[in-house]
Amino acid sequence: MNDIHKYIGEALVGVFTIFWIWGAVMWARKKPDAGSLFWKLLAVCQILAGVQALVGIILLVMGFVPTTWLHYVYGFGPIVAFGYAQLYARRETELKYPYLPFLFAGFVGWGLSLRALMTGLGM
């Protein structure tokens, strides 16, 4: 189960990387829509982050405890970032770039997931 958590973490960092770079390129090119692939990647990022958190909770219940409490912050941070992006995007209906809150959430999620992977691997 520990290996599954590690592999999902590695996949999550990879998907987050593609996601936020895609959004950044669309924003730099001043595209009003990031395209359907961006929104599909958003769904993949959110689902994968949720599955990763669930596996982490299962590991915690099984007695596997991270070496630092920051691992929890890094692990659940992307979920919080995407939740905030969802709330912000719903509230601001007239956004010029509607994908921008998710781009920033993906960047935050990427950094936090990378750091969670590093603490989990003992770096």
* Residue 23 near residue 102, CB atoms below 8 Å: yes
Q: pLDDT truncated to tens, each residue of the chain (123 aa)? A: 788 999 999 999 999 999 999 999 999 999 999 899 999 999 999 999 999 999 999 999 999 988 888 888 888 999 999 999 999 988 887 888 999 999 999 999 999 998 888 887 776
108 DSSP assignment: H
* Cα–Cα distance measured from residue 1 to residue 56, given in angstroms and rounded to the nearest whole number: 9
- Please, what is the Cα angle at 85 between 91 and 100, to 5 degrees? 95
Total structural domains within the chain: 1
Domain interval for residue 13 = 2-120
What pTM does this model have?
A: 0.87
Secondary element (H or E) of residue 67: none
* Cα–Cα distance measured from residue 118 to residue 71, given in angstroms and rounded to the nearest whole number: 9
